[in-house]
Amino acid sequence: MNEQNLTAEQLIGKKDAKKIIAKLKFEDGLAILEDLVGKVESGRMPLDRSLEAYELASELVTFLRGLLGEAEGKLKTIHENAAGEIGVKEG
């Protein structure tokens, strides 16, 4: 499954959704999350499907927060190294 063209509808209820989410780029994950929110807010989803969508959204939020935390850590490292050679420490 191509993560770039992935839709919320394709992920809702999938048993391997966590594995698929872990491969997403931030922007793709955010787009799927926005799609999920729109679908749930529309009120046209059955309750069981809405609950699956909510669970998936929760997984996406956790994943996206992790990516933002990593980016923040890299920026902090760059800022700390600004007095010397600018670079990003691995690890």
Please spell the DSSP secondary structure of 27-46, one letter per residue: HHHHHHHHHHHHHHHHT-S-
Residue 78's pLDDT is what? 85
Asked if pLDDT for residue 91 goes beyond 60, the answer is: no
Please report, in angstroms and rounded to a whole number, the separation of the first and last CA atoms in the chain: 29
Q: Which two tokens stand for residue 28?
A: 């793709």
Higher pLDDT pick, 60 / 85: 60
DSSP 4: G
pLDDT of 85 reads 58
For 17-70, how does the pLDDT look when each residue is reduced to its tens digit (9 = 90+)? 999 999 999 999 999 999 999 999 999 999 999 999 999 999 999 999 999 999
pTM > 0.85: yes or no: no
